[in-house]
Amino acid sequence: MARAPKNDLPMMSTEEGIVLFHQHMPRKAKEYVCDTLDSRWIGQGPKVDLFEARFREQFRQPGPCISTGSGTDALHLAYLLAGINAGDEVLVPLFTCTATNIPLLYIGAKPKFVDVDPRTLNLSVEDLKRKISDTTRAIVCVHYGGLPCDMAEIRALADQYGIPVIEDAAHALGATYDGKPVGANSEFTMYSFQAIKHLTTGDGGLVSFRDESLAPLARRLRWFGIDRTDKQRGIWENDITEVGYKYQMTDIGAAIGLAGLEEFDETLAYRRALYRRYVENLSKLSDVVIADDFNPRKQHAAWLFTILIEKRVDCQLKLRSRRIESAQTHFRNDRYTVFGCDETFPAMDAVDDKYLVLPLHTKMSLGDVDSVCEVLKEGW
């Protein structure tokens, strides 16, 4: 029977101590937003176009970049552009935000869950090999916490079966695999600009893809079947040839995003410094395992710092008693009734009561990381 996951501890305020998440608002965000408010365009307009162009260049994307109102919107577009239809089987991560898998239900496709790699919490390539078949229509992978999946093996499997790879890179902007940005190994990649991500537009997302010819369709699907950029050129009458959605980003959101792009390298470097400090403090503790394989082919984006421990509830209570917030931020999707899953997942079962996410954000100092680690070193 499905069991809804729960976090029993109430959310802390920033005044109470070290919180789990905090948004990073770029220094020039207010200036750029105010400029936008004084302009003709506050909905989708020229700043959205500029954001897409700069994002593509800065993150070396392999093809067009289409921004959206959320990462979930972008994933839905990716699935549609990939040609996934009702009844299609798609291999997906078991352990992820439901936003990865729910859009497949919009289409009527059939998500088939892949167990976790218990060392990284990314999807298990070994389980992927067991479950892929001639009926598989696509592979979806999530770079949990910002750690890239084993993309060479995933790419090889996809090529063997002639199917696309769709990367959910909601956690992984700035991560690299073999020196290339995430997204370089797949047909479609989604990025999230939700409030607490490295790069935010308040809420937003973006889908990038290799095939330039798909860009007109993507723009039409984003706004009711109409290419909204026509409006910017003064073209008001359009034919509608397919069902579209209302998935556009606004110029207000894009203004925040443009400010974030300017200081992204600085933001990422700081988060990575915090991540390294955690590793330096905790790597030698026998009762703490860091959810990271430290593979030199992978460069972590440092969005989450996750540990695997025994007696997780006791650890959380100890941290909370010292005014430090921690949580399980993502959950196994087979526990949600909507997916109707009755399979077993032994690797996930083995870590289900062990994973814990610790604070990591730009409002923290290296001293804050040390404080969290000192509590863990005391034991619980």
C-alpha–C-alpha distance, residues 198 and 196, integer Å: 7
Q: Is 165 exposed, middle or buried (0-12, 13-18, 19+ CB in 10 A)?
A: buried
Closest CA to 166 of 87, 94, 82, 95: 82
pLDDT < 50 regions, the chain: 1, 4
Closest CA to 41 of 231, 209, 220: 231
What 8-state DSSP symbol labels residue 357?
A: E
CA dihedral for 313, 319, 321, 325, sign (positive or negative): negative
C-alpha–C-alpha distance, residues 241 and 225, integer Å: 7
Closest CA to 133 of 166, 167, 93, 90: 90
Q: Domains in the chain and their CATH numbers?
A: 29-262 (3.40.640.10), 264-378 (3.90.1150.10)
State how far the alpha carbon of 80 is from the alpha carbons of 85, 105, 157, in Å. Answer: 8, 12, 22
Is 115:122 a contact under the CB 8 Å cutoff?
no
In the numeric block, the tokens 């077993």 are attached to 344
Is 28:354 a contact under the CB 8 Å cutoff?
no
Strands 165-168 and 188-192: parallel
C-alpha–C-alpha distance, residues 70 and 247, integer Å: 8
* pLDDT at res. 232: 64
Q: Calculate the CA dihedral of residues 98, 103, 108, 113 and round it to 10 degrees.
A: -40
Per DSSP, the three-state class of 188 is strand
Strands 95-96 and 165-168: unpaired
Is 271:366 a contact under the CB 8 Å cutoff?
no
C-alpha–C-alpha distance, residues 281 and 283, integer Å: 6
Q: Residue 92 is encoded by which pair of tokens? A: 């997906």
C-alpha–C-alpha distance, residues 270 and 22, integer Å: 14
Closest CA to 84 of 152, 18, 137, 41: 137
Q: Which residue type sits at 231? A: K
* pLDDT at res. 12: 84
pTM (predicted TM-score)? 0.95
In the numeric block, the tokens 């990939």 are attached to 82
Q: Which residue type sits at 121? A: L
* pLDDT at res. 263: 98
What length does the chain have? Answer: 380
Q: Residue 27 is encoded by which pair of tokens? A: 């220094």
* pLDDT at res. 14: 84
* pLDDT at res. 209: 98
Is 243:183 a contact under the CB 8 Å cutoff?
no
CA dihedral for 140, 143, 149, 152, sign (positive or negative): positive
* pLDDT at res. 115: 98
